A and B are shown apart, each in its own frame.
Chain A
Amino acid sequence: MNAASDLLRRLRRHPSGVAAGVFIALLVVLALGAGLVPHFDAQAISSESMRPPSFRFPLGTDELGRSVLAGVVSGTRVSLTVGFFAALFATVIGTMLGAAAGFYGGWLDTVVMRISEFFQVIPGFILAAVIVAMTGTGLSQIITVVSLLAWPQVARVMRGEVMRVKRIEFVDAVRCLGLPERQVLLGEVVPNALAPVLAVGTLIVGQAILLEAALSFLGLSSAEQVSWGRMLNSGQRFLFNAWWLSFFPGTAIFVTVLAFNLFGDAVGAVLNPRATR
Chain B
Amino acid sequence: MRFYVLSRLASGAVIVLAILVLNFVIVHIVPGDPLHALLGDFPVPPGYAEQVRAEFGLDKPIVAQLGLYLWNLAHGNLGFSFANRSPVLELIAARLGPTLLLMLPALFFAAVVGVVLGLAAAPRAGSVQDSALTALSLFGYSVPVFWLGQIIVIVFAIRLGWLPAQGMRNMREDFQGWDAVEDILKHLVLPGFSVMIFYVAVVARVARASVGEALHQDYVLTAQAKGLSRRTILWRHVLPNAMIPVVTVIGYNFGQTMTGAILVETVFAWPGIGNLFITSITNRDYPVLQGIFLLVSVSVVLINIVTDLLYSALDPRVRSAHEREGPSRARMAPTGDGGTARSAKVAHHERGL
Q: Chain A residues in contact with chain B, CB under 8 A?
A: 118, 120-131, 133-136, 146, 149-150, 152-153, 156, 200, 203, 206-208, 210-211, 213-214, 217-220, 229, 232, 235-236, 239-240, 243, 246-247, 250, 253-254, 257-258, 261-262
Contacts and interface: CB of A to CB of B under 8 A. Distances in A.
A134 B286 contact: yes
B281 A121 contact: no
Contact of A246 (B150, B259, B263): B150
Contacts of A219: 278, 281-282
Interface residues of B, number: 52
A257 B144 CA distance: 9
A258 B138 contact: yes
Given A129-B281, A134-B30, A250-B150, A207 B15 contact: no
Contacts of A257: 141-144
A134 B138 CA distance: 33
B211 interface: no
Interface string B1-34: 0000000000000010011001000100111000
A211 B260 CA distance: 12
Nearest to B143: A254
Contacts of A203: 350-351
Contacts of A156: 346
Contact of A258 (B29, B142, B150, B267): B142
B255 interface: yes
Contact of A123 (B26, B290, B297): B297
A214 B265 CA distance: 13
Most buried by A among B26, B144, B258, B290: B144
Interface string B242-282: 00000000000001101100110011000000000110011
Given A156-B346, A246-B150, A130 B351 contact: no
Interface stretch (B53-61, B85-93, B151-159, B316-324): B151-159
B223 interface: no
A217 B304 CA distance: 29
28 contacts: A118-B15, A121-B15, A121-B297, A121-B304, A122-B22, A122-B297, A125-B263, A126-B292, A126-B297, A131-B26, A133-B286, A134-B289, A135-B29, A153-B350, A203-B350, A206-B142, A207-B353, A210-B142, A214-B146, A218-B277, A219-B281, A220-B281, A239-B165, A246-B151, A250-B150, A253-B147, A258-B142, A261-B138
A213 B300 contact: no
Nearest to B260: A125
Contacts of A150: 353
B124 to A, nearest CB: 16
**6 nearest interchain CB pairs?**
A250-B147, A258-B142, A124-B353, A123-B255, A257-B142, A246-B150
A247 B281 CA distance: 25
A18 to B, nearest CB: 16
A229 B266 CA distance: 13
B166 to A, nearest CB: 9
A232 B150 contact: yes
Contacts of A246: 147, 150-151, 154
Contact of A200 (B282, B290, B350): B350
B103 interface: no
B263 A217 contact: yes
B352 interface: yes
A108 to B, nearest CB: 16
Given A121-B297, A210-B144, 15 more contacts: A118-B15, A121-B301, A126-B259, A126-B297, A129-B281, A146-B353, A200-B350, A213-B144, A217-B266, A218-B277, A220-B281, A239-B158, A240-B165, A258-B139, A261-B138
